[in-house]
A and B are shown apart, each in its own frame.
Chain A
């Protein structure tokens, strides 16, 4: 009916051609035109709550995209206001939940970032993390080396000599603050616990997230223990899903990584073997993977197949009444920090399990409540992230929560750091540690 304009007509493969929304697949223009500017989204947007300005609201971001598509605004990397509006978005998806027409603002923001070629992470960090996609072995070696250097006080020394105060390097201080003091390699942790990463005749594939593999091996250990109660498991270590490139890099690279994963999955157990992840971000990304392959039947079918066989840790969590933890003195809450979505089966299941486990001590929170910005936002917009995290701490303190359960290792890391600083009475743990 309409000639749908697109952001880069000459480079359509740089963008998602059809967005997968809860109201069906839509082109970018149709998707953004569904916003009728009612403003309900602003009330739940963490950046609008900080600035109270239209540039920082989901409605504003959607209008930017629409005006760009209609040729009324020129997408220009040098435009400070435009850049701020796009960089500041946490991609949390609260707006999507609140919206009557389920407009996927986070996806729209990513599309604009891609069109602008915006690299929102500090350059060095971006290049380093991109290595995981391009050269996974080198990435693995470099990560281990960096962690050894950190143990040798190299970061502290660099801080003393003000090297990490230099522009473009300040993120190293924050990373050093957030990371646990001592990080043991996953292989050692598994060996010590006598847990096999790969069992014979596997029935399930475990895809550890980056943080579970390199920073928080206990998450991988706990996940494997849980999984192996029910399934013989194999672990696909150092396997990128394309999520990082999807959010921070080039969509073509993301597709490439995803194709590798899909091909490997298709070859394993006739493509029917369930795939388990410990990160809600990875889970939500893989669920929407089919939208990356519109018009490519084979890959789309494979992506759909993977999405159907995808499991999150909540799916393998034992829910027998025997597991009920005796009532703890403090309350427990679920942190919904995630990319793209705040509601859905993963969250509902987690909430159900926690209710079973903790009974009245489980305090129900909503998607509108403050939580830690997800998936590296603290490196994208540190000032916003700090203010948002403080709001989270305020909420946790008000509810007098003792344990905050997160659905991704990154959120647990960030939250643990903020809590330690401002409200040490509470602790942040990943969902897989709840049963311990």
Chain B
């Protein structure tokens, strides 16, 4: 696309002459990231101060020029590529760590700070930043937020989503918003995590930091088969053990890694499991015994506890797994499909079949605890047949993940490379909602365009949601009737909190607990299930949720904003929208980086843009401390709320309490 000289002049005035580059070399050097996609931008703008971002975005918006923010450009999904041309905003120079507050447990950083750099600064203070993507030496915190990156420690500590407290966001029209997790209303920060810069550019982040655990124990176990290894992971979770990392590797991986960085990995065994526990000394001893017992039950050939600095050596080698594969061929295509843990053995069998059928070499390496596996396909992109084959195999592997109830991305995001696969994962209603979200934030489609949402997905999707039988079908009809009457109404559960006298639609008849999965440790329940009913039913099965046995419904606990800590435990949702569509998102997955995070859009939204009808969330074998309810506060109707409301409920039929309303 042609960028007018007047626009370039305005940009140069905003950031300095030398920081606006249109020459061939600069432009071509910003046409790629770590993926296979190469798309040429028209101008590269190097930003040296965070304040410049809003100024530049305003200019670009005024001249309708698409833009893509980028820093480390280490992503594997083509999220930094520029299919429409336009501007690349290089944020890599925004590297200031503005504040580290160990007392309040946060660090205030700019988006260009390299993840490992923050770790290095925190180490002497006795703190650490939990998300640990494998590329942490080069990737940046801004990029981590954009992709919702996570790593080995995700199982216990969660991904970037769970560690960002506050962000300063420059919207695609150049307006600046500060969004904090403490505020009422939808979890905007959560929605922005993993949005790949399609909803705006983050210029400052406040991230959670944690005290370094004093006691850590690391184990390396060898198993005859990968299946035994995966079964061990499932059994450990069933016994209530949540290690901070559980990394599994197949034989090819251990052999290749041993050649590059010898660490004593069992190269003769079919699989190896690297497992790390942290916590109090006494509980560690107890957990250690259980780990050894479970490993032995699953035919472990060897169980070795790390001595001296052996753990560092093991982790160094594990982190070099990608590097080791990179030595075998010029290109490594890393898939990051994720499946429910119970589906891992079956999916791995399928993946091996696919690899054998297509004569491809790949190492299988995975964050076993969260069902996120990384087949690393090696090939040479200069050989077009080989490249096509790698792309085809990657798609087949991702399809296998979808078939197993999983997602096409656990932590790398969608970008341009996987967006076509999203049509296989989600139904049309869900993809429509993604489009609405994008449109609400960015009506002109300027911020990182052509990402996440598949092109012409209507023809390719897995179809619209099935007309659910029973109670949901009845409720859906009631909901549609109420909408057809065009009279505004509230969505309530037992109406215990709102106690409204006005028109309302209650979800209390949706009171079924659909599924209790004791392998993946998830429960799926309808929104009208009361918290008391839920607690009693779970107790019968010997499992527990974090929700207390109090008044109110599950839907209310999720939507009211009274239990913000509950959001992190939710993994899937079904909701009805004012246009009558039914969206589904997530499932029994520990992590999902495919598409916008709908869980966070509906969490605390108080039914402003739809009614949540079903939720899937984590349960535990050991009773966790129940959450305490915050007082109900009507949500803040900020700029983002207004945009989203206008987009999803233009007739304002779904009522929410006024901001000034006092609710018991």
Residue contact B92 to A53, C-beta cutoff 8 Å: yes
User: Which listed segment binds B: A60-68, A323-331, A427-435?
Assistant: A60-68
* A60 to B73 CA separation, bound complex (whole angstroms): 12
* Minimum Cβ distance to chain A for residue B458 (Å): 34
Given contacts A36-B332, A39-B72, contact A2 B382 (CB under 8 A): yes
A55 to B31, CA, bound (A): 12
Considering the complex, give the chain B residue whose CB is closest to the CB of A81: B25
Task: Report yes or no: A39 in contact with B73, Cβ–Cβ below 8 A.
Answer: yes
Within A54-80, the residues touching B (CB, 8 Å) are 54-55, 60, 63-64, 67, 72-73, 79-80
Tell me whether chain B's interface is mostly helix, strand or loop, or mixed. Answer: loop
Of the residues B24, B29, B326, B383, contact of A38 by C-beta under 8 Å:
B326
Report chain B residues within 8 Å CB of A355: none
Q: Does B138 contact A (CB under 8 A)?
A: yes
Q: Given A34-B330, A67-B28, A100-B322, are A42 and B90 also a contact pair (CB < 8 Å)?
A: no
User: What's the minimum C-beta distance from A131 to chain B, rounded to whole angstroms?
Assistant: 35
User: Which residues in B have some Cβ–Cβ distance to A below 8 Å?
Assistant: 21, 23-26, 28-30, 32-34, 46, 72-74, 90, 92-93, 95, 112, 114, 116, 135, 137-139, 320, 322-327, 330-332, 380-383
Q: Which residues of A contact B331 (CB under 8 A)?
A: 36
Q: What are the residues of chain A within 8 A of B139 when measuring CB–CB?
A: 39
A53-B34 in contact given A39-B74, A63-B28 (Cβ < 8 Å)? no
The smallest C-beta distance from B416 to any residue of chain A, in angstroms, reads 15
Residue of A40, A43, A54, A67 ringed by the most chain B CB atoms within 10 A = A54
In the complex, what's the smallest C-beta–C-beta distance from A70 to chain B, in angstroms? 9
List the A side residues contacting B33 at CB < 8 Å: 37, 39
In the complex the two chains form, what is the Cα distance from A30 to B329 in whole Å? 10
Q: Give Cα distance in the complex from A16 to B360, angstroms.
A: 33
How distant is A80 from chain B, measured CB to nearest CB, in Å?
A: 8
Which residue on A lies nearest to B136, using beta carbons?
A43
Cβ contact within 8 Å between B34 and A36: yes
A37 — which chain B residues lie within 8 A by C-beta? Answer: 32-34, 73
Q: How far is the CB of A339 from chain B (nearest CB, A)?
A: 24
* B23:A79 contact, CB within 8 angstroms: yes
For the complex formed, measure the closest distance between the CB of B4 and the CB atoms of chain A, giving whole angstroms.
Answer: 22
Task: Quote the shortest CB–CB distance from B365 to chain A (angstroms).
Answer: 14
Chain B minimum-CB-distance residue to A40: B138
Q: Which residues of B contact A72 (CB under 8 A)?
A: 28
Which residues from A are CB-within-8-Å of B382? 2, 33
List the B side residues contacting A38 at CB < 8 Å. Answer: 34, 74, 135, 138, 322, 326
Q: Please state if B326 and A101 are interface contacts (CB–CB under 8 Å).
A: yes
Identify 20 residue pairs between A and B in the complex whose beta-carbon atoms are under 8 Å apart, listed by A's number: A1-B383, A2-B382, A36-B330, A36-B332, A38-B322, A39-B33, A39-B72, A43-B137, A52-B90, A53-B93, A55-B29, A60-B29, A73-B28, A79-B25, A81-B25, A100-B320, A100-B322, A101-B323, A101-B326, A102-B327
| Residues on the A chain within 8 Å of B90, using CB | 52-54
B135 contacts A40, CB within 8 Å?
yes
Please state if A82 and B330 are interface contacts (CB–CB under 8 Å). no
Contact of B330 among A43, A101, A102 (CB under 8 A): A101
The listed residue (A23, A39, A85) touching B135 by CB distance below 8 A is: A39
Question: What is the bound-complex CA distance between A43 and B24, given in angstroms?
Answer: 24
The A148-205 residues at the B interface (CB cut-off 8 A) are none
Report the minimum CB–CB distance from B391 to chain A (whole Å). Answer: 15
Q: Closest chain A residue to B93 by CB distance?
A: A52
| Chain B residues whose C-beta falls within 8 Å of the C-beta of A82 in the assembled complex | 25
- Closest CB-CB distance, A76 to chain B, in whole Å? 10
A73 and B323 within 8 A (CB): no
- Hey, which chain A residues are within 8 Å of B116, CB to CB? 43
CA–CA, A35 and B34, complex, Å: 10
**Nearest chain A CB to B549's CB is how many angstroms away?**
49
Within the assembled complex, what's the spacing in Å between the Cα atoms of A80 and B116? 33
